[in-house]
A and B are shown apart, each in its own frame.
Chain A
Amino acid sequence: MSNTSAVTGARKSGGKGSFSLIQLLLEGRAFFALIAIIVIFSFLSPNYFKLSNFLTMSNHVAIYGLLAIGMLLVILTGGIDLSVGSVLGLCGVFAGFLMQGIEIPAAGVILYPPVWAVVVLTMALGAFVGFVNGALVAWFKVPAFVATLGSLYVARGVALLMTNGLTFNNLAGDPALGNTGFDWLGFNRLFGVPIGVIVLAVVALLTGLTLMRSSFGRWLYAAGGNPRAAELSGVPVKRVQISVYVLSGICAAIAGIVLSSQLTSAGPTAGTTYELTAIAAVVVGGASLMGGRGTVNGTLLGAFVIGFLADGLVIIGISSYWQTVFTGAVIVLAVMLNSIQYGGQGKRS
C-alpha cells in the first residue's frame, strides 16, 4: 500500500490553477455579494457609507440574523421552521405582557417581574413552541413544513388573542416597580456597538463553536446528511431533531425581545413573513435545503446581504415593490449558485 500513498501525494501537488479561483468565487459568493452591495449603494447614495447608517442597518440585520441562525440549525438536519416569524411576534407580545405586570386576582396583587425574569420566561416560551414543533416532527412524523406551518398560524393567533389585536406601548417599566431596563437592549451600545448586534455576535459564536467543535454539532450534520446511517452510528437522531427546533424557538424569542425593545413596543403582527427572510439568509449563505451542508459564517453573511440590500434600496428611494423584486432575484440567484456548487460534488457521489 506504500505506493498508493506515494501516488496520492503526487496527485495533490498536481496543478489546480483556474479551477480553484472559480471555487473560491463560488464559496465566497455571499462575501463578494456583500462587498458589491456596499460599493454600489455607496455610489448611489452619499448617506449609505456612514457609520450611523451601518449601525442602523446592523440593528435590522441582528433580527434577521438571530432568526437565520436558528433556522440554519433546523435546515442542517433537513427540516424547516416556518414558525419563527410568528414566534418572534408571540414572544414580543409575551414580553410586553409581562412588563405590564401580571395580575393575580386571588391575592389581589399585580406582580412586576424584573427584566431578567421577563427575558428568561420569554425564551422559555420560544423553547416551548420549538419543543412542540420538534416533537411533532420527530415523534409524530409530521413533515416539518406542515408542523411548523401549523405553529405559524397558532402562534400568530395566540399573539393576537393576547392583545386583542392591540400593541403594548409601555415597555419602559417603572423604577418604583423595579422593572426598568427593557429598552437597554434596543438602544444602548457597548463600545459603540448596538446591543442587538452584540447579542447576535454572541449567539453566532456559540452556535459556530457548537457546530464545528462539539459532538452535538457533528450529530446535526450527520442527521441531516443521512439519518439512517447516522442512527446506526449511534447518533440520537430524534433528540437532535427536537433540540434544533427548541434552539430555533429560543433564537426567535431572543429576536422578539430585541425587536420589541428596539421599537419600544410589542405588536402582535411583528415579524410577519420574517421566516422567509431567515430562510433566504440561510440559503444565500450557502446551506443546502436538503440538509447536511451549511455554516454559521455563511448564514451571517447571508443575513447581512439581505439586510444591507433591503436597507440600501430604501435609502436610494426605490419603491417597495421593486425591493421585493430585487430580494427575490437575489434569493433565486443564490440557490442557482448553490446547485452549481453542490451539483459538482453530487456528480462525484
Chain B
Amino acid sequence: MTTQVTDETPHGIPDDPEIVLAARNVAKSFGAVQALKGVNFDIRRGQVTTLFGENGAGKSTLMKILSGVQRPTTGELILEGRPVEINTTVEARDLGISIIHQELSLAPNMNVRDNIFMGREIRGPGGVNFAEEERQTRALMKELEEDIDPLTKVEDLRLGQQQIVEIARALSVNSRILIMDEPTSALSASEVEVLFKVINDLKTKGVSLVYISHHLEEALTITDHAVVLRDGVMTAYAPRNEIDLEWIVRNMVGENFDLGSPPTGHEMGAPALELKGLTVPATASAGNAVDGLDLTVRAGEVVCIYGLMGAGRTETMECVAGRLNATKGEILLHGQEVSHLSIAERIAAGLVLVPEDRQRDGLVQTMTVGRNLSLASIGNFTKGFLTNLRAEAGIIDRSIREVTVKTDGPGAAIGSLSGGNQQKVVIGKMLATKPSVILLDEPSRGIDIGAKAEVFRILADHAKDGMAVVYSTSEVGECLAIAHRIIVMRRGKIAAEFTHDVTKEAIMAASGESLVA
C-alpha cells in the first residue's frame, strides 16, 4: 500500500506565527512497541485540527505527549516558536494546554463541582469557596445545555453525562490550546451539536483546538485542518477545503468501507428474546427508566435501538442481562422466563451483554488481554477442577483474530491496548461464549470505521447462523447498517419502529431530537 504524503506535511522549525504548538520528530516507544515513529504535527491558532487514524495509530499517545501526560522518547515540542519541555499535566496547564481524555479521568466518588475544580480549587476566606465553584459549574452546565446538578456524585451520572463533566472541566481552565480525544463517543447528536457550538465560540476567542473522533462525518463539520496518522506515522495532511470523507477513509485504511447491510438469505427463526411490559425504575431519580416495554427479537434478526441519552436503552439492556431488577414485566429467552436467573446463569443460557462503559463494566484492568478475552467463557475450557490451557489458548487466539485486536500478544497488559482495541476485547469476550442472544450497548464506541465495519460484519454473520442481535447506538448512520428493524426509544417507551428503508431524518424526528444540519 502506498503511503501518500502531501507536500503540506509540516517539517522544520515552524516559522509561521499561526502555529501555536508544534511537535517535531516525536517518537514514543513502550518497551518494544513503537507507538509513534517520528511525527510532525502542528496546531494552528484559533482553528480546529482534526486527527484521524485507525485504532492504535497513536493518536492518543501523541495527545498525551502534547499535554504532558507522557514524555516522548525522542523529538521536541515547540510552543510559539520556542522549544519547550512539558513534563507534567500541571506544567501543561500553566502553559495553557488542557486535554479531554478518551478514557474518562474523573473521581467517581466526588461530586460534579469538586471534579471540575479538582487540583485548582478556588480559595476563599474560609478555605475553599464552594459557592463560587458551584456558580461557575452551573454556568458551564448552562453553556453545555445540560441539566446536571453540580452536587450530584459523578458515579450517579450516565456515561454521557460524565463525558459532559469531563468536557466542562477542560473548558473551565480557559486554556489557549484544548485537546479533545474522542469527546463525543458517549454523546447524543443534539449534545454533539451543542459541543460544536461551544467549539466555534472558542475558535472566535482564539483558542486552538485538536479534535479526535471516529465519527468522521461529524468531525468533518468542524475541521479546519485534517491530519491522518497511520501506524505511528503521519501519512496525510490537508486543509478542510481540499478534503472530503473519502479522502480521510482512503488515507486512514486504504480503502472505502461501508457499514454493511442487513444479512439476508436466511430464515428468521422463532422468537429468541421477548420482553413483555418490562418496567425498570430509574436509578438516580424517581420514575421509571424503562416503562412497560414490549419487544420481540427473533433468532437471526438484527435489531437496532436508537434513542437520546436517558431514553432507557442502557437500563433495558442491563435489566435483560440481569444487572438491574425489573419491577414489572417478563423476560423470555427462547420462551423460558429468565427473570429469576443470575447474570452467570443467563450467560450460560446464551444471553449476554456487551456493556457500554468498558473501563467500569467491561475490562478487568489487572488481567492480561488473553485472560480478559477468556473470562466469560471459562466454563468452556474447564474440565472438573482444572482449566485446559491449550483449549483456552485456542479460544483466545480465535477471539483475537475474529475481532482483530491489535496487540503484542495474549500476555500483554490490557491497559497497553489503544481505546478501540480495548473495546474489541470486550466484544470478543462475550462472543466467545457463543451466545444465542447478544445485546450490545453502543458497541462502536471508540472503534475506527474499519473495525466498525468488521464488528457489524461479524454480527451480521452470526445473525445468519441464527443469533439474535440487539445493539444500541447514538449515531443514526449505524442504525441503517445491519439492522433489519430499528426501534426508537423515548422516555422508556418505544416511540417508533422502522424497517431498514427508513431515512435518518425520520429516525431522529421520532427520537425527539432536533435535526442536525
Contacts and interface: CB of A to CB of B under 8 A. Distances in A.
B325 interface: no
Nearest to A210: B385
A345 B376 CA distance: 24
A141 interface: no
A225 interface: yes
Contacts of A291: 366
Interface stretch (A104-112, A216-224, A256-264): A216-224
B271 to A, nearest CB: 24
Interface stretch (A8-16, A39-47, A161-169): A8-16
Interface in B358-405: 360-367, 371, 375-376, 378-379, 382, 385-387, 389, 404
Interface in B404-447: 404, 406-409, 413-416, 429-430, 433
Contacts of B178: none
A12 B408 contact: yes
29 contacts: A1-B404, A12-B32, A14-B32, A16-B32, A213-B387, A214-B382, A214-B386, A215-B382, A218-B371, A221-B366, A222-B371, A229-B355, A229-B361, A230-B364, A232-B321, A232-B362, A233-B347, A234-B343, A234-B376, A288-B366, A292-B364, A293-B366, A345-B413, A346-B415, A347-B70, A349-B413, A349-B414, A349-B415, A349-B416
A7 B375 contact: no
B353 interface: yes
B31 interface: yes
A248 B288 CA distance: 43
Contact of B386 (A213, A226, A292): A213
B361 A232 contact: yes
A209 B386 CA distance: 8
A348 B415 contact: yes
Nearest to A78: B366
Interface of A: 1, 4, 7-8, 11-16, 19, 209, 213-215, 218-219, 221-222, 224-226, 228-236, 288, 291-293, 345-349
B33 interface: yes
Contacts of B364: 221-222, 225-226, 229-230, 292
B56 to A, nearest CB: 8
Interface residues of B, number: 46
A218 B293 CA distance: 37
B366 A232 contact: no
B34 interface: yes
B224 interface: no
Contacts of B389: 213
Contacts of A14: 32
A225 B353 contact: no
Given A11-B32, A232-B321, A232-B361, A218 B387 contact: yes
B328 interface: no
A12 B33 CA distance: 8
Given A215-B378, A219-B378, A225-B367, 19 more contacts: A8-B407, A11-B408, A12-B408, A13-B32, A14-B32, A16-B32, A213-B387, A218-B378, A225-B365, A228-B361, A229-B355, A229-B361, A232-B362, A234-B344, A347-B70, A348-B416, A349-B365, A349-B414, A349-B415
Contacts of B31: 16, 19
A8 B361 contact: no
A198 B344 CA distance: 38
B9 interface: no
A209 B385 CA distance: 10
Given A11-B33, A230-B375, A214 B387 contact: yes
B82 interface: no
Contact of B413 (A233, A236, A348): A348
Contacts of A346: 415
A7 B57 CA distance: 13
A13 B385 CA distance: 37
B123 interface: no
Nearest to B450: A1
Nearest to A226: B364
Nearest to B342: A236
Contacts of A221: 364, 366-367, 371
Nearest to B64: A347
A99 B32 CA distance: 62
A231 to B, nearest CB: 6
Nearest to B454: A1
A191 B35 CA distance: 56
Contacts of B33: 11
B361 to A, nearest CB: 5
